[in-house]
């Protein structure tokens, strides 16, 4: 009887029935693993999505737990972490790289001492702040605190008069995290020409929002007053808890204004009357007097003369620092001479004036003697 | 590798399935791993056990007790010590492990309960005994209790009064307690801006005062 010869492959193959059973086994094993995998993904995704809004997911990392706890009692408590910090579901290669780096460090036990924002994170956060606070962002851009690294560190006039040094970072580039100023600019001298070692930093904001604001700080979201008692709204309104704080680069810590020191200045031996406004402690961190603590020394602009005792923020808008509306806010009620103060010879009217608006005194205009103060209503 | 693997590879049929299975299995493992990674309740300590940390919090809070201001525990001194024990103070790891265990045993024997469960007065009394080596010798055979207490005091002071970058002095609490203005107000190091007219009095006597900042 003729029997066809099998090739070697066919000879090695198990019987057809066994092969079918094996394939079914593999098929159902795959289905089982797939179901398990799907369940794991769904549980993770569900847990992530469900807990991201409460911060619970973020709080599972014990290193950032204190930050999460502060956020939970902050003004931004109803805004998910991902709205400011981004989420794991991002197409940003840089963000993904950072996430995997952190996971690797976590799994290998090389935990960072603290989780702190890097300068590139602060840049991204700045944009996200402005995305919601657009009016404040526009005011910041138009004001005197929106300078970029190029405006500060490549300023020829400044660099020729004072050699760049690490202390510049105290107020400019507070979040610069690559080390000394030598890592930022070269050459470090007063002749130049100066250039950035990494040109990508040129347009980075030198004083980003987080220089003066601490997001993770206790506060309440805005709430409507009690309209059942409209006449008492003014008296029962809660004092706003502001986020003002100074970012100390050395400690990588935002110090709230209530903890910041208020200077006690003198004017030729006389103690200057200072405004009790705690907010201006923030201004003094950078617009500071020199070690003599004499008014007008260093970069200090503490008012003396007719404006003594007035807070910086009584005249300067908080984001633009614009003081154009300040005269109309107080004058003429507080004016002693009844003149249009905006037209008087001060630096408010012209930067060429010898009479600085911060320090102008009656004697500056009344060189022959100050007339008697007029009685109210006369 | 099994023989049928080779055969399957040759046929080019099961390869895709196998890769798929490997990916699926890998994904499942990753999922489980990540789930474990994000499970709440992980210890916040790097060297100390939760029990040791709790005991240490009680101890440091007797060294610098809270009053109107937070004490050492509130200033996160234990966090400072824990961080240092895995970095600069690795040499003290064994001292802490043995010392804290011996302290707890001492409390159980002399105080009749866990150190955490004792009243503040009883805790103080026990720490005084520790400081004066007035403790059961068999519990402190490998370590001097006074030396351990001295180490605790040193590290508590460092954590409480040192810069917060090292893990303690939370929210600069120590600087507030002692009235230290921080960050200090420091004028710019640069020549005066000639374009800005100085106040009249400054032109007369530019460095007349030595006033200090206030908090």
Long-range contact list for A157-164, CB < 8 A, 24+ apart? Answer: A158/B190, A159/A190, A159/A192, A159/A194, A160/A190, A160/A191, A160/A192, A161/A190, A161/B190, A161/B191, A162/A190, A162/B189, A162/B190, A162/B191, A163/A188, A163/A189, A163/A190, A164/A188, A164/A194
Q: Using an 8 Å Cβ cutoff, are B65 and B124 in contact?
A: no
Mutate to test the interface with A, among B21, B23, B201 (most CBs of A within 10 A): B201
Q: With 60 as the cut, is the pLDDT of residue A359 above it?
A: yes
Q: Shortest CB distance from B187 goes to which of A44, A56, A299?
A: A299
Report how far residue A324's alpha carbon sits from residue A342's, in angstroms, rounded to the nearest whole number.
9
From chain A, the residues in CB contact with B209 under 8 A are 265-266, 269, 292-294
Q: Shortest CB distance from B211 goes to which of A57, A165, A265?
A: A265
Instruction: Give pLDDT, residue A10.
Output: 53
A40–B24 CB contact, under 8 Å: no
Q: With 90 as the cut, is the pLDDT of residue A45 above it?
A: no
SS3 A195: strand
- The helix-helix angle for A16-52 and B14-38 (nearest 10°) equals 30
Share of chain B above pLDDT 90, in %: 60
Instruction: Give pLDDT, residue B5.
Output: 41
Report how far residue A100's alpha carbon sits from residue A293's, in angstroms, rounded to the nearest whole number.
50
Average pLDDT, chain B: 78
Q: How open is the CA angle B5-B9-B13, to the nearest 5 degrees? A: 110
Instruction: Give pLDDT, residue A376.
Output: 58
Report how far residue B28's alpha carbon sits from residue B22's, in angstroms, rounded to the nearest whole number.
10
Q: pTM for this one?
A: 0.78
Confidence of residue B203 (pLDDT cuts 50, 70, 90): very low
Question: Of B57, B56, B75, which Cα lies nearest the Cα of B178?
Answer: B75
Chain A CB within 8 Å of residue B213 CB: yes
Tell me the two tokens of residue A224: 């409507």
pLDDT in tens, A323-345: 888 888 888 766 667 778 888 88
Q: Name the β-bridge partners of A294.
A: A266
Report how far residue B29's alpha carbon sits from residue B27's, in angstroms, rounded to the nearest whole number.
5
User: How buried is residue A88: exposed, middle or buried, by Cβ count under 10 Å (0-12/13-18/19+)?
Assistant: exposed
Q: Shortest CB distance from B21 goes to which of A30, A263, A364?
A: A30
Instruction: Give pLDDT, residue B77.
Output: 97
Residues with Cβ < 8 Å from A59, sequence gap 6 or more? Answer: A65, A68, A69, B40
Instruction: Give pLDDT, residue A14.
Output: 65
pLDDT in tens, A144-164: 999 999 999 999 998 998 899
Mutate to test the interface with B, among A26, A57, A102, A296 (most CBs of B within 10 A): A296
Chain A CB within 8 Å of residue B77 CB: no
A44–B212 CB contact, under 8 Å: no
Which value does ipTM take for this structure? 0.73
pLDDT in tens, A293-317: 889 888 889 999 889 999 999 999 9
Does residue A162 have a cis peptide bond before it, meaning omega lies within 30 degrees of 0?
no
The CA-based diameter of chain A, rounded to the nearest angstrom, is 141
């Amino acid at each position: 009887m003729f029997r066809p010869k099998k090739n070697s492959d066919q000879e090695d193959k198990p019987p057809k029935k066994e092969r079918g059973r094996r394939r079914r086994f593999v098929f159902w094993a795959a289905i089982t693993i797939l179901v398990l995998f799907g369940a794991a993904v769904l549980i993770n995704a569900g847990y992530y999505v469900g807990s991201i809004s409460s911060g619970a997911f973020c709080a599972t990392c014990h290193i950032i737990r204190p930050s999460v706890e502060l956020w939970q009692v902050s003004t931004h408590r109803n805004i998910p972490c991902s709205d400011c910090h981004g989420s794991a579901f991002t197409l940003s290669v840089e963000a993904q790289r950072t996430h995997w780096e952190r996971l690797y460090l976590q799994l290998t036990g090389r935990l960072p001492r603290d989780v702190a924002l890097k300068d590139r994170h602060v840049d991204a956060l700045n944009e996200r702040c402005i995305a919601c606070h657009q009016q404040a962002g526009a005011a910041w851009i138009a004001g005197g605190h929106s300078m970029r690294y190029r405006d500060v560190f490549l300023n020829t006039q400044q660099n020729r008069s004072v050699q760049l040094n690490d202390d510049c970072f105290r107020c400019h580039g507070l979040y610069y995290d690559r080390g000394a100023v030598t890592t930022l600019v070269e050459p470090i001298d007063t002749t130049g020409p100066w250039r950035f070692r990494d040109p990508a930093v040129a347009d980075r904001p030198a004083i980003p929002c987080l220089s003066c604001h601490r997001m993770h700080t206790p506060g309440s979201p805005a709430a409507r007053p009690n309209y059942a008692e409209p006449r008492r709204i003014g008296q029962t309104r809660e004092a706003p808890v502001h986020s003002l704080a100074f970012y100390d680069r050395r400690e990588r810590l935002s110090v709230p204004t209530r903890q910041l020191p208020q200077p006690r200045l003198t004017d030729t031996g006389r103690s200057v009357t200072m405004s009790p406004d705690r907010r201006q402690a923030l201004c003094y961190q950078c617009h500071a007097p020199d070690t003599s603590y004499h008014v007008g020394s260093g970069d200090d602009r503490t008012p003396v003369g007719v404006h003594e005792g007035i807070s910086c923020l009584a005249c300067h808008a908080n984001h633009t620092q614009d003081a154009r509306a300040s005269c109309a806010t107080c004058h003429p009620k507080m004016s002693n001479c009844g003149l249009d103060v905006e037209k008087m010879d001060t630096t408010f009217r012209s930067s060429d004036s010898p009479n600085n608006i911060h320090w102008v005194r009656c004697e500056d205009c009344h060189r022959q003697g100050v007339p008697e103060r007029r009685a109210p209503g006369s | 590798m099994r023989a049928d693997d080779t055969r399957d590879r040759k046929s080019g049929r099961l390869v895709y399935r196998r890769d798929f299975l490997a990916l699926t299995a890998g994904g499942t493992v990753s999922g489980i791993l990540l789930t474990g990674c994000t499970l709440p309740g992980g210890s916040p300590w790097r060297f100390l056990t939760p029990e040791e940390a709790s005991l240490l919090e009680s101890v440091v809070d007797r060294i610098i007790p809270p009053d109107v201001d937070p004490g050492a525990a509130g200033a996160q001194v234990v966090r400072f010590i824990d961080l240092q024990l895995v970095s600069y103070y690795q040499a003290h790891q064994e001292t802490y492990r043995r010392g804290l265990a011996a302290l707890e045993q001492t409390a159980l024997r002399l105080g009749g309960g866990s150190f955490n469960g004792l009243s503040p007065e009883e805790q103080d009394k026990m720490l005084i005994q520790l400081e004066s080596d007035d403790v059961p010798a068999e519990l402190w055979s490998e370590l001097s209790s006074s030396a351990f207490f001295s180490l605790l005091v040193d590290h508590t002071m460092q954590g409480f009064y040192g810069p917060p970058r090292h893990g303690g002095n939370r929210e600069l609490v120590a600087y507030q307690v002692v009235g230290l203005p921080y960050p200090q107000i420091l004028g710019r190091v640069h020549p005066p801006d000639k374009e800005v007219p100085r106040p009249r009095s400054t032109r007369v006597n530019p460095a007349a005062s030595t006033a200090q900042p206030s908090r």
